[in-house]
Amino acid sequence: MSEELTRLSARAAVRLLEAGEVTPLDLIDAALDRIAAVEPDVNALPTLSAERARDRAKRLMANPGMRPGDGRGWLAGLPVAIKDLMDVEGVRSTQGSPIFADHVPDRSHPLVERIEAHGGIVLAKSNTPEFGAGGNTFNEVFGTTLNPWNTELTCGGSSGGSAVALATGEIWLAHGSDHGGSLRKPAAFCSVVGLRPSPGRVTRGAVSNMFNPSSVQGPMARDVPDLALFLDTMAGRDPLDPMTQPAPERSYLDTVEAALAGGPEGRPLRVAWAPDLNGGIPVSREIRDVCADAARRFEDLGATVEEACPDLGRIGEAFEILRALIFVVDRSPMLETHREMLKPDIIWNTEKGLALTASEIAWAERERAAFVRRIVAFFEEYDLLLCPTTITPPFDASLRYVEEVDGKRFDNYMAAALITSAVTLSSCPALSVPAGFTTDGLPVGLQVTGKPRDEAGLLASAARFEQASGLAKLLPIDPKGAR
């Protein structure tokens, strides 16, 4: 029975909960059984909160009329995982850092409060690199999270624990965050779906970088309709985050289900395919070929697919400057008090920011603004922009990042992530959806970018593609050793 429950989609599990055919306690037990079976091989959910989850489940079962508002995004007692960058009341919340190794907050982050108010039950914290900085999920507190498709390889970062937990069936829905690709890259490496929403779609709480649109919170799932359900749970206005906006009148799940039922929603007419973002990024041949085949599937959906890409300008340089500025705001006090406890990537990013001049920051802001104007003009002609989510397949888990692709060397981990970080600065919603596999059986993700603030259209189009590919049916999997 436990295995049958963990193989359910989140939507199917919620339907059973609403019908009273299973209870939240049943799902908690099923998830814990699965976690016990696979966690030694992957290390995705190092912190469990089973007793807290059971207590929440019992309270929810005693108050069946708790559904908020119009009920959109209602999870009805479904267990979820929260990335270990976000506080959960009464649960060890480390941010992957020795500095916070023993931190137990007395209040949850506003997004966690929202998820729980919508019937989600936090069962586990998912592993992350220290403060979410890194393209590989490892830290000194919990160690390395491994890719279930090949446990000698990385799951990507920084929402790697969430992606692995979904792929292996440890959990039905998982939270993540994304600055330079942290929801999208692990999704690609693990053959799940991760969405970077538009800035302001999901609350970040009272962050220090309150008006910076680069870092967002968002959902991960095994398929696009489940992703839409979880975005409905998360989306909405929060007074602590002045960038947030009210949720749209129509739920994302309703839009996706209408598209899959044959409605006009998310039916793209003109799609742009940019295999290397106009030559600006080296992409391994196998990744390019798999994604090219995936892009052509949109022709079967009735779209015209053309090779086209907006002008990137010098957006890679601008991203590194603006990212470094964020690190100054967030991490410079720690650099003064706990330098010896910070990993090199954190120190490098923060010191880069401290060395910036006002002129450099001003130039980067102007470059971002010009890029956004070009993106808006581009989407007046195209409905979607397609490109690979990653430039290589999953790599050795002992490496911090890929140092060379097709003869081009990278001197830092963010330089190898321009294919996702460029999309970050567009402020458009983007997701990674499974595109296929390499000849070695490793997952490949297709990055699909939608029009500004059009999560509904993006999700509906991605759901159509996913339905045609059938790849979501492969999950969940048992962890596989090296092949």
Kindly tell me the burial class for residue 452, based on how many C-beta atoms sit within 10 Å of its own C-beta (0-12, 13-18, 19 or more): middle
Q: How many CB atoms lie within 10 A of CB 261?
A: 8
Which of 209, 173, 147 lies closest to 395 in space, CA to CA? 147
Q: What is the Cβ-side half-sphere exposure of residue 342, based on CA atoms within 13 angstroms? A: 22
Peptide bond into 158 cis (omega under 30): yes
Distances in whole angstroms, Cα of residue 321 to Cα of each of 115, 196, 344: 33, 21, 18
Catalytically active residues are 83, 158, 182
Q: Yes or no: say if 99 and 341 are a contact pair by the CB < 8 Å rule.
A: yes
Rounded to 5 degrees, what are φ and ψ at 97? -120, 140
Helix, strand or coil, per DSSP, at residue 431: strand
Query: What is the secondary structure of 350-412 as a DSSP string?
Result: HHHHHT--HHHHHHHHHHHHHHHHHHHHHTTT-SEEEEES-SSS--BTT-SS--EETTEE-SS
Beta-bridge partners for 414 = none
Q: Yes or no: say if 109 and 88 are a contact pair by the CB < 8 Å rule.
A: yes
Q: How many CB atoms lie within 10 A of CB 154?
A: 28
3-state secondary structure string across 176-206:
EEECCCCCHHHHHHHCCEEEECCCCCECCCC
User: Which residue bears the tokens 């609350």?
Assistant: 203
Peptide bond into 242 cis (omega under 30): no
